[in-house]
Structure 1
Amino acid sequence: MIKNYIKIAWRNLLKNKLSGIITTGGLAIGLTACTLILFYVAHERSYDRFHADSDRMYTVEAQVNMGGDTIYMNAMNATVGALTENASPAVASSLRLKDEYKPVILTNTQQPGVRFSEKDFSYADANFFNFFSFKLLKGSKTEALAKPYSLVLSQDMAKKYFGNQNPIGESISVRKDSTYLFTVTGVMENTPSNSSIHPDFVASLSSMPTMNDYKRDFDSEVFRLGAFPTYLKLNNASDVKMVEKTMQELSTQGNADATDVYSLNLLTDKHLNGRDASNTRYISIFPLIAVLILILALVNYLSLSTARASLRSKEIGVRKVNGASRKSVAFQFYIESTLYVLLAFVVSVALSVVLKPWFFGILGIEIDAAFFLNPTFLGILAGLLVFTILVTGFYPALVMSAFNPVENLRSSRVSKMGGVRLRKVCTTVQFVIAIALLVSGIIIHQQLDFVRGVDTGLNRSDVVMLPLQKTMGTNSTPFRNEIEKLSQITNTAVTQYPIYKGYNMFFVSSEQMPDAIGLPIFAVDDDFFQTLDVNWELKPEDEHYYSKSDQVVINEAAISKFKLGSNPIGESLLFGNSKREIIGVVKDFHFENLDAPINALALFVNSKTQATTDILGKSGGCLFVRFQPDSDVSQLLSQMEAIYTQYDSATPFEYQFLDDAFDAMFRSEERLSQVFNLFIILAMLIAGLGLFALATFSAQQRVKELGVRKVLGASVIQLTTLLSFDFLKLIFLAILIASPLAWYFMHLWLQDFNYKTTIHWWVFLGAGTGAMALAILTVSFQAIKAALANPVKSLRTE
């Protein structure tokens, strides 16, 4: 019987090719979109769950109150983990993991002329591979990081530095403040894409006390904040409160006046709930889009399948007269729906595999191909398949199995149970979703354009940032001089960090604000203001103000934050034990994310010579280079790279345009905009295909009516209008429903922005006009075709 039902379904599909292609194609497109989003969401929610004890792994965090500002810190003193483990029996083990903040220069000692700048270099305790579930392919879990200056490489790095030879026992030199020699003691499997910890190099943390840069991090044994992200593995997840209480007690033992609040956060929550999780900002929006696209595809399928099924009323009547039960008829339609859904599902999986790299390229993430075969994700896909089969088969089976066989066989017209009202509802729902997505996409694009056009107080155009490492050393001055000699260069400036990439933080007080407040600090040279067009509110009277080390320049926001006078020149701020006199005020400019108001800022200004020597040469910093607007940028970059390699061959040449650094802050919004553009196209495509098929069905149903009207003198325009009007009424209703819904959700979304655009009325008019145009083009094609048909053929054919 099932075989017979499948044959009937297949024959019907081949008999009505256009309807079948549109029905299964629309469903396949919707399932593809849904599959890709589910793949992304499942991956983002699976972070760190591959660790065997992930439900008992926690990161230590401290909540610090500084002058009314709450700051969250995740770096602890070197002894915090061990002290907590010893004090609380609920703690099974602890681990310190320290990442290098800046790239380090690594060299295979067998090839001293080949150097690489590496970013993912970390130090970890000896129990790293017992604490986490990272696979060690070569070496011993317990011994790999037991000794100082031991180093474990990832698979990719082992191949990069040693090719196909066994790296165990080989040496790699690491250049920092000095050059250190590490011995390779292990090779680990490349970390999965769903890991929040992803080092390419894991060095023994016991090496750090003998390294110049880190000696001071081990000076204190008091429980307090420090330089080491610390992880705890508890015996039972229910012991969190007990361990937090222990940490609080340890904190006050070391300092009776300590007010920091320590807490434990699940490692598996780190990725989604982190305070810098730009990739997951819209983890709740994407599933909503997936649901909307799936609803749209299912509604489209339901509308077309009921239209197709209503043409088979006589077939069902014959089956019932011959003894078929309602149950068997319903089962037949479920089998047909299952066949169509399986075809659509196979197509959607194939499309998902093909489109996966492109889709995740838009999102700016990489996901292991193996995750596509992850049991959890396969279970989600199976659930989606079953759900789709149940939903798509339910209504056609319910309607067709209820047909009255006597009425079906004696009636020359289509049964009243063909679902006309349902198809109208389905068409309206489809365009409500499509129009709402279109309006949302336009507003998101407007918001992006708006924030990019915000006056940030800096001139970002035609500026390139060159981050320099300490490897530049004493060559920093001749390097800068050579850059300035290039004909296209107008100005250069030095800062300790690239703009939008970080700053130092001091705890500062004033006479009016005796409690220390965290204050961002920029170390710059005196050319900084001219190069970036930073305007003065109160300019220093002394032209050589930068010659004194006990002076400071602040911005306007710092005046109100420290309750200074309207003219604070001559007043002082206390930086720890060092008092600095305010000698100038600059107008506010954005130096961090636009999501928050401009923060207070202090500028330590050095002379050009001193900044070039001390900042660029000794500690590494950033050289800002302003070039002429009509410059050949690619040629200029090549010239700068050639100069760079003359003075620093140890570190690769890197650069970033200041405009690009600013745009990077809106990367998540840009991704959302691109995803919306993609799904707007899909929504319009599915809705358009459904409307096209329904228009074809409507024209076929009314072919004799059109023939009669044409014989009686109706024009092509009148017949086209007659067929189109019913559909256009539904689109107009969809516009009325979608517009307030889209306004409401976009209004809520815009509340997250400090700078936000205005939602204009013409956005809704434009989206509605676009939907109407799509509907007119789609319906008119079939309407004109039906109106131009020969009425003689229409009237004489049954």
Structure 2
Amino acid sequence: MLKNYIKIAWRNLLKNKLSGFITIGGLAVGLTACTLILFYVAHERSYDSFHTDSDRIYTVEAQVNMGGDSIYMNSMNATVGKLTENASPAVSSSLRLKEEYKPVIITNASQPGTRFSEKDFSYADANFFDFFSFRLKKGNTATVLSKPYSLVLSEDMAKKYFGNQSPIGETLSVRKDSTYLFTVTGVMENTPSNSSLHPDFVASLSSMPTIKEFERDFDSEAFRLGSFPTYLKLNESADKSAVEKTMQELSIQGNAEASDVYSLSLLRDKHLNGRDASNTRYISIFPLIAVLILLLALVNYLSLSTARATLRSKEIGVRKVNGASRKSVALQFYVESTLYVIFAFLVSVALSVVLKPWFFSLLDIEIDASFFLNKNFLLILTGLLGFTVLATGFYPALVMSAFNPVENLRSSRTSKMGGERLRKVCTTVQFVIAIALLISGVIIHQQLDYVRGVDTGLNRSDVVMVTLQNTVGTNSTPFRNEIEKLSQVTSTAVAQYPIYKGYNMFFASSEQVPDATGLPIFSVDDDFFKTLGVTWETKPDDENFYSKSDPVIINEAAISKFKLGPNPIGESLLFGNSKREIVGVVKDFHFENLDAPINAVALFVNPKTKATTNILGKNGGCLFVRFQPDSNVPQLLSKMETIYTQYDSATPFEYQFLDDAFDAMFRSEERLSHVFNLFIILAMLIAGMGLFALATFSAQQRMKELGVRKVLGASVLQLTTLLSFDFLKLILLAILVASPLAWYFMHEWLQDFNYKTTIHWWVFAGAGVGAFVLAIFTVSFQAIKAALANPVESLRTE
């Protein structure tokens, strides 16, 4: 019997090729979109869950209150982990993991020409590979990091520095304040894409006390903040509160006046719930998009399948007269539906595999190909398939199996079967979703354009930021001089960090605000204001203000924060034991994310020569280069790179345009915009395909009526209008329903932004016109075709 049902289903599919293609194609497109989004969401929600004890691994955090500001820190003193482990029996083990905050220069000692600047260099305790589930390909987990100056490489780095040769026992030199030699003791698998930790180099933490830069990190044994991200593995997750209480007690033991609040955060929650998780800001929106697209596909399938099924009413009547039960008829339709869904599902899987690289490049993410075969994701796909089979087969089987055989044999009488009303509802729902997505996509695009056009208080155009390491050394001054000699360059400036890439945080106080308060600090030179276009509110009287002892320049927000006078020139801020006189005030400018109001900031200004030597030469920093608007930028960058390699051949030439750095802050919004653009197209495509098929079905059902009307003198325009009018009424209803829904959700979404665009009425009007144009184009094609048909043929055929 099952074989017979499959044969019938296949024959019906071949008999109605256009309807079958639209039905299965629409479902396949919807399932593809849903599969890709679910793949992305499942990956984002699986971060760090591959660790064997992921439900028991926590990071130590502290909330520090300074002058009314709450600052969250995740770096502890070197002893915090062991002190907690020794004091609490609930802690099974602890681990310190320190990442280099700046790139290091690594050289293959046996091949001096093999030199690279590396960013993912970390130091870890000897139990790193027992604590986490990173796998070693070569080496012993118990000993690879047991000795000072031991180093474990990832597979990619082992191949990069040693090719196909075994790196075990080989030496790599790491250049910092001096050059240090590390012996390779192991090779680990490349870290999975769903890991929040991505070290390519793991060095033994016991090396750090002998490295000059880190000597001060081991000065104190008190339980307090420090330089080491610290991880604890608990015996049971239920012990979390007890361990947090123990940490608080240890903090007070070290300092009775300590007010820091220590807490534990589950590592696998860090990616989604961390305080810097902008890359997953819309992880809750993407599943909603997946549900809407899948709903579109299911509604489209349901509408077309019921339309196709009503044409088979006589077949059902004959089967029932010959003894077929309602159960067997229902089973037949379920088998047919399951066959079509499986076919659509297989097509969607193939499309997902092909489109996966493109889709993830659109989202600017990388996901291991192996994750596609992850058992959890395969279970999700199986559940999706099962749900789709149930959702698509239930209603047609239920309705068609309930047909009265006498009525079925007498007339198709589709109007009594409930199909027409259902198809109207389905068409309306489809266009509600499509129009709502279209309106949302336009508003998201408007918001992106709006924030990009916000006056940030800086002139971001025509500025390139060149990142310099301390390897430039004493060559910093001649390098800068050579850059300034280029004809396209108008000015340069120096700062410790690139704009939008970080700053130092000091704690400052004033007479009016005696409590120490966090204050961002930029160390810059005196050309910073001209080159970056920073506007003065109160310019220093003395052009050589930086020659004073410890001067400081603040912005307008700092006046309010420290309750200074309206003209604070001559007043002072206290930074620890250092008192700095305020010599100037600049207008507020954005130096961090636009999601928050402009923060207070202080500028430590040095004369040009001193800043070039001390900031660039000693510690490394950023050289801002302003060039003429009509410059040949590729040519300019090529010249700058040539000069750079003359003065610093140890590190690669790295640069970024200031306006690109600003745009990078909105990467998550751009991803959302890209996804919306893609799925607006898919939604319109699926809705249009469904409308086209229904228009075809309607024209076929009313063929004799059209023939009679044409014989009686109806024009092609009148017949086209007649066929189109019912569908256009549904589109109008969809517009009326979708507009307030889209307005509500977009209004709520915009509340997350400090700067937000206005939702204009013409967005809704434009989306409505677009939907009408699509509907008219889709329906009119079939309507005109039916209206032009020979009425004699229409009346002759049964």
TM-score relative to the length of structure 1: 1.00
1:281 partnered with 2:269: no
Match of 2:316 in 1: 316
**8 Å contact 1:95–1:230 — kept in the other structure?**
yes
**8 Å contact 1:408–1:415 — kept in the other structure?**
no
Match of 2:728 in 1: 728
2:103 partner letter: P
Map 1:229-378 → 2, pairs under 5 A:
229-378=229-378
- What is the rounded CA distance, in whole Å, between the counterparts of 1:415 and 1:538 in structure 2? 79
Match of 2:691 in 1: 691
Match of 1:774 in 2: 774
Map 1:108-127 → 2, pairs under 5 A:
108-127=108-127
1:717 partnered with 2:717: yes
**8 Å contact 2:108–2:173 — kept in the other structure?**
yes
1:657 Cα shift?
0.2
- What is the rounded CA distance, in whole Å, between the counterparts of 2:543 and 2:412 in structure 1? 98
Map 1:272-671 → 2, pairs under 5 A:
272-411=272-411, 413-414=413-414, 416-417=416-417, 419-671=419-671
- What is the rounded CA distance, in whole Å, between the counterparts of 1:499 and 1:280 in structure 2? 23
1:258-285 CA-partner distances (Å, limit 9, x unpaired): 0000001111101111111122110100
- What is the rounded CA distance, in whole Å, between the counterparts of 1:415 and 1:440 in structure 2? 36
1:238 is paired with a residue of what secondary structure?
helix
1:214 is paired with a residue of what secondary structure?
helix
**8 Å contact 1:555–1:588 — kept in the other structure?**
yes
1:435 Cα shift?
0.3
1:414 Cα shift?
3.8
1:415 Cα shift?
5.8
**8 Å contact 2:76–2:225 — kept in the other structure?**
yes
1:172 Cα shift?
0.1
Match of 1:76 in 2: 76
1:754 is paired with a residue of what secondary structure?
coil
1:290 Cα shift?
0.3
Superposed structure 1 runs of 4+ greater than 3 Å apart: 412-415
1:740 partner letter: P
Match of 2:12 in 1: 12
- What is the rounded CA distance, in whole Å, between the counterparts of 1:413 and 1:168 in structure 2? 81
1:87 partnered with 2:87: yes
- What is the rounded CA distance, in whole Å, between the counterparts of 1:549 and 1:790 in structure 2? 98
- What is the rounded CA distance, in whole Å, between the counterparts of 1:388 and 1:651 in structure 2? 55
Decide whether aligned partners of structure 1 residues 549 and 352 sit closer, same or farther in structure 2, where only a CA change above 3 A counts.
farther
1:462-484 CA-partner distances (Å, limit 9, x unpaired): 00000000000000000000000
2:423 partner letter: R
1:39 partner letter: F
2:364 partner letter: G
Unaligned ranges ≥5, structure 1: none
1:397-437 CA-partner distances (Å, limit 9, x unpaired): 01100000011112264462151000000000000000000
Moved more, 734-743 or 412-421: 412-421
**8 Å contact 1:310–1:418 — kept in the other structure?**
no
Decide whether aligned partners of structure 1 residues 412 and 291 sit closer, same or farther in structure 2, where only a CA change above 3 A counts.
closer
1:113 is paired with a residue of what secondary structure?
strand
- What is the rounded CA distance, in whole Å, between the counterparts of 2:413 and 2:17 in structure 1? 23
**8 Å contact 2:314–2:412 — kept in the other structure?**
no
Map 1:100-249 → 2, pairs under 5 A:
100-249=100-249
1:211 partner letter: I
2:440 partner letter: S
1:740 Cα shift?
0.2
- What is the rounded CA distance, in whole Å, between the counterparts of 1:145 and 1:317 in structure 2? 78
Decide whether aligned partners of structure 1 residues 499 and 412 sit closer, same or farther in structure 2, where only a CA change above 3 A counts.
closer
- What is the rounded CA distance, in whole Å, between the counterparts of 1:559 and 1:579 in structure 2? 16
- What is the rounded CA distance, in whole Å, between the counterparts of 2:474 and 2:410 in structure 1? 100
Match of 1:21 in 2: 21
**8 Å contact 2:61–2:75 — kept in the other structure?**
yes
**8 Å contact 1:521–1:601 — kept in the other structure?**
yes
- What is the rounded CA distance, in whole Å, between the counterparts of 2:64 and 2:768 in structure 1? 51
1:196 Cα shift?
0.6
1:48 is paired with a residue of what secondary structure?
coil
1:499 is paired with a residue of what secondary structure?
coil
Decide whether aligned partners of structure 1 residues 338 and 412 sit closer, same or farther in structure 2, where only a CA change above 3 A counts.
closer
**8 Å contact 2:313–2:412 — kept in the other structure?**
no
- What is the rounded CA distance, in whole Å, between the counterparts of 1:358 and 1:518 in structure 2? 43
Unaligned ranges ≥5, structure 2: none
2:642 partner letter: A
1:217 partner letter: D
- What is the rounded CA distance, in whole Å, between the counterparts of 1:692 and 1:299 in structure 2? 14
**8 Å contact 1:464–1:657 — kept in the other structure?**
yes
- What is the rounded CA distance, in whole Å, between the counterparts of 1:315 and 1:362 in structure 2? 49
Decide whether aligned partners of structure 1 residues 418 and 790 sit closer, same or farther in structure 2, where only a CA change above 3 A counts.
farther
Moved more, 174-183 or 275-284: 275-284
**8 Å contact 1:520–1:600 — kept in the other structure?**
yes
1:170 partner letter: E
1:3-53 CA-partner distances (Å, limit 9, x unpaired): 000000000000000000000000000000000000001111111111111
**8 Å contact 2:472–2:617 — kept in the other structure?**
yes
Moved more, 410-419 or 223-232: 410-419
1:102 is paired with a residue of what secondary structure?
coil
**8 Å contact 2:311–2:412 — kept in the other structure?**
no
1:727 is paired with a residue of what secondary structure?
helix
1:429-464 CA-partner distances (Å, limit 9, x unpaired): 000000000000000000000000000000000000
1:720 partner letter: T
Sequence identity (%): 86
2:153 partner letter: L
- What is the rounded CA distance, in whole Å, between the counterparts of 1:239 and 1:42 in structure 2? 28
2:232 is paired with a residue of what secondary structure?
strand
1:351 partner letter: L
TM-score relative to the length of structure 2: 1.00
- What is the rounded CA distance, in whole Å, between the counterparts of 1:410 and 1:703 in structure 2? 19
Match of 1:738 in 2: 738
1:171 partner letter: T
- What is the rounded CA distance, in whole Å, between the counterparts of 1:428 and 1:716 in structure 2? 27
- Residue correspondences, number: 798
1:597-620 CA-partner distances (Å, limit 9, x unpaired): 000000000000000110010000
1:163 partner letter: G
**8 Å contact 2:62–2:260 — kept in the other structure?**
yes
1:213 Cα shift?
0.6
1:110-160 CA-partner distances (Å, limit 9, x unpaired): 111221000000000000000001001101101000000000000000000
- What is the rounded CA distance, in whole Å, between the counterparts of 2:411 and 2:73 in structure 1? 77
- What is the rounded CA distance, in whole Å, between the counterparts of 2:231 and 2:435 in structure 1? 48
1:550 Cα shift?
1.4
Match of 2:52 in 1: 52
